[in-house]
């Protein structure tokens, strides 16, 4: 599974275009995502991937790449937990 492409798919469902979704795009400044919209995006990602995302524990998300990295870490941690 290509995690980044799946995150892009979820974000497209929230109204974003592929060309906007590069790792260095800042969520607030470049993508104009406010705190309420970020919660909606996080919930959509949680539902899509079956993970629980704690934005505070992650130190917050500044960029689209931060979101992708968080999902990757959670999925890899889940795989590691299942495998042990």
What would the pLDDT profile of 9-45 be if each residue is shown by its tens digit? 999 999 999 999 999 999 999 999 998 999 999 999 9
pLDDT at residue number 65: 96
Residue 72 reports pLDDT greater than 60:
yes
Q: What is the pLDDT of residue 58?
A: 66
The model's pTM: 0.85
- Helix or strand (DSSP H, E) at 46: helix 35-49
Query: What tokens were used for 5?
Result: 């492409």
Ramachandran angles phi, psi of 26, nearest 5°: -80, 135
pLDDT for residue 77: 85
């Amino acid at each position: 599974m290509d995690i980044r492409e799946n995150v892009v798919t979820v974000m497209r469902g929230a109204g974003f275009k592929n060309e906007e979704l590069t790792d260095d795009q800042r969520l607030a400044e470049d993508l104009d995502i406010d705190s309420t919209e970020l919660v909606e995006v996080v919930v959509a990602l949680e539902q899509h991937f079956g993970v629980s995302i704690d934005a505070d524990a992650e130190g917050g998300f500044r960029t689209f790449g931060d979101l992708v990295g968080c999902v990757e870490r959670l999925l890899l941690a889940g795989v590691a937990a299942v495998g042990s």
